[in-house]
Amino acid sequence: MECNLLDCSNPAEDHITCDVCFIPKYCSERCRNTDSAFHSTSCRPHLYTLKDFTVAKDIKILGTGAYGEVQLVQKNDSKKLFAMKLYRKAYVSQIIPLKILFREISLHKTLKHPNIIRLYDHLEDRVKIYLILEYAEKGSLFDLIRKKIKLAEKEIWPIFTQICVGLNYLHMKNLLHRDLKPENLLINKDDVIKICDFGWSARGTEQRVTFCGTLDYMSPEMLNNRQQSFKVDIWALGILLYEMLHGTPPYRAKNPRDMMRMVAEGRYNIGAHVSNNARQLISLLLQEDPESRPPIIEILKTQWVQQFSEQKLKPGWQVRHPEHGEGTVKESIGLVYTISFQDNDIELIENDLIRMCTIIDQTGEIVYEQSLSIQVKSKLDPEKSNAKKSPLYNKLGIDTAGKACLKPTIKSARNSRNNSGNNSPVVNEPQESLEPTRKNPRLPRSPKVIEEVKRSQQLPSRRFVKQDFEGMNFSPEPTPVQNAKRGGTPKSSFLQRFKKSND
């Protein structure tokens, strides 16, 4: 593994690392000191060890992919369920340096929002990397669309607005998601939407022209290799809204060239069942010029959002904001409120106000007090969606209060979309225990075993390193076949393109 400092490519030493999180490895004390200021912004101590978890018996695999698999695990003491992503270091390192992966992991750990999937901790041994993630009991939005084909606008509204709120949080953090799609939107047992998979995410302050994501959701500027901004996520919101209304994206193409032609023509059919307000919102979001697409705050003011919104705050109510101090609710449009603080007026989203602030009504009674776990309940009809209650919840003692849950034992959406980079076959290995069989994490003392482990950990040399590493795909993709050569051509279309650029 290379030194964690981006400007250094020397081999890292295991003993020169961060004393708090033990994630970055450096070649020298000088590199560690140089990188300390950047690393301190995302450094978090470890919360768990591999011994703290046991693989769930009834549902072991939640998904599979190129880098490994996603397992359902249970914490031994609290019996709480988590999703554990496994990455094979040897395979991931063929695509990007591991230090880039570790930087993205550290970044994800800092994201704390009700509509963002939580990354609690990262663990590793000599062969694999383990991510301890929040578990979403009802699966993905893709599974819901696949079961119901089309969703009613009343069902779509809480889903869409929650995605907007979570996306706004990312944009406020100067982060672009760049791969927003139903497969990357999870639903927990309380119908709260969770944005996940930040593998293609990038910092908004940096210029990006990377060709990445899923073809059905790629924006025109991405297809044409133009500069990307937050507006690539706004385009994806329009595609997402269309797909929830119709059961399929507006543009279906086999390759980027055909997609560019279809997007340039701007022709897509909207069903007669779609309201005029929803039609206008789709047209507003799917504008070819990125500068013409509205920001999140303006989307939440549109007529379609107003049509189903029920204002929880009233003009004249007092607001105590942790940063801006005391203010008064002035007016509201849709889910956006104008708050008059001492210095100026600021527009804030309703969910963020309730989550972050103390709200006092005109009688002096506290209505909301930093409700960090605020939930926007969706009106999903489990009966119509043919949802079934998983027997796992009864065996593990989870109370679902009689609510039906979508079956979580889903495969990754390998066959759901063309050109998504997840269409290759996968080889799953049985893995009952998370803890390595040997007690000592160091290499065994037997010379024969040492040679076998070394051969299994040899990494291919790279003559060229891609510069735009921020497009790391965290979503699991199919692992290579056991008999395949290490230097063979990757089966993913995106990896093939990357392989050619290296050669």
Type of residue at 297: I
Type of residue at 17: T
pLDDT along the chain (503 residues), means of 10: 75 76 77 77 75 83 74 91 89 77 80 93 88 92 90 96 95 86 92 83 48 69 78 92 94 80 85 95 93 95 94 93 93 95 92 93 90 48 39 42 39 45 35 41 45 43 38 45 48 52 55
Domain 40-136+413-502 CATH class label:
alpha beta
- The model's pLDDT over 390-448, given as tens digits with 9 standing for 90+, comes to 444 344 444 444 333 333 333 444 445 644 433 333 333 333 444 444 343 444 445 55
- The model's pLDDT over 47-58, given as tens digits with 9 standing for 90+, comes to 788 888 998 877
Phi and psi dihedrals of 54, rounded to 5? -130, 140
- Count, in order, helices (H) and strands (E) of the chain: 15, 18
On whether the CB atoms of residues 161 and 254 are closer than 8 A, the answer is no
135 is in an annotated binding site: yes
Q: Structure tokens of 203?
A: 């910092």
> Regarding the domain delimited by 308-369, which CATH topology (the fold level of the hierarchy) does it fall under?
SH3 type barrels. (2.30.30)
User: Whole-angstrom Cα distance, residue 1 to residue 267?
Assistant: 49
On whether the pTM is more than 0.85, the answer is no
Phi and psi dihedrals of 473, rounded to 5? -85, 105
DSSP symbols for 301-363: TSHHHHHH---SS-TT-EEEETTTEEEEEEEEETTEEEEEESS-EEEEEHHHHHHHSEEE-TT
Number of other residues whose CB lies within 10 A of the CB of residue 299? 26
First to last CA, the chain: 22
352 is in an annotated binding site: no
83 is in an annotated binding site: no
134 is in an annotated binding site: yes
User: Whole-angstrom Cα distance, residue 159 to residue 307?
Assistant: 15
Residue range(s) occupied by CATH 2.30.30 in the chain: 308-369
3-state secondary structure 103-137: HHHHHHHCCCCCCECCEEEEEECCCEEEEEEECCC
C-alpha pair distances (Å), 72 with each of 55, 84, 432: 6, 6, 11
Short-list 380, 54, 240, CA closest to 232: 240
Q: Structure tokens of 280?
A: 């206008």
Pick the catalytic residue: 52, 121, 179, 216?
A: 179
243 is in an annotated binding site: no
Would you call 367 exposed, middle or buried from its count of C-beta atoms within 10 A (0-12, 13-18, 19+)?
Answer: middle
User: Whole-angstrom Cα distance, residue 15 to residue 19?
Assistant: 10
Residue range(s) occupied by CATH 1.10.510.10 in the chain: 141-307
Residue range(s) occupied by CATH 3.30.200.20 in the chain: 40-136+413-502
User: Whole-angstrom Cα distance, residue 413 to residue 341?
Assistant: 47
How are beta strands 69-75 and 61-64 bridged, if at all? antiparallel
> Regarding the domain delimited by 141-307, which CATH topology (the fold level of the hierarchy) does it fall under?
Transferase(Phosphotransferase); domain 1 (1.10.510)
3-state secondary structure 94-111: CCCCHHHHHHHHHHHHCC
Short-list 93, 68, 174, 90, CA closest to 453: 90
66 is in an annotated binding site: no
415 is in an annotated binding site: no
* pLDDT score for 341: 93
Active site residue 233: no
On whether the CB atoms of residues 271 and 245 are closer than 8 A, the answer is yes
* pLDDT score for 42: 63
Would you call 434 exposed, middle or buried from its count of C-beta atoms within 10 A (0-12, 13-18, 19+)?
Answer: buried
In the three-class reduction of DSSP (H, G, I as helix; E, B as strand; rest coil), residue 139 is classed as coil
3-state secondary structure 219-259: CHHHHCCCCECCHHHHHHHHHHHHHHHHCCCCCCCCCHHHH
Q: Structure tokens of 196?
A: 């996940």
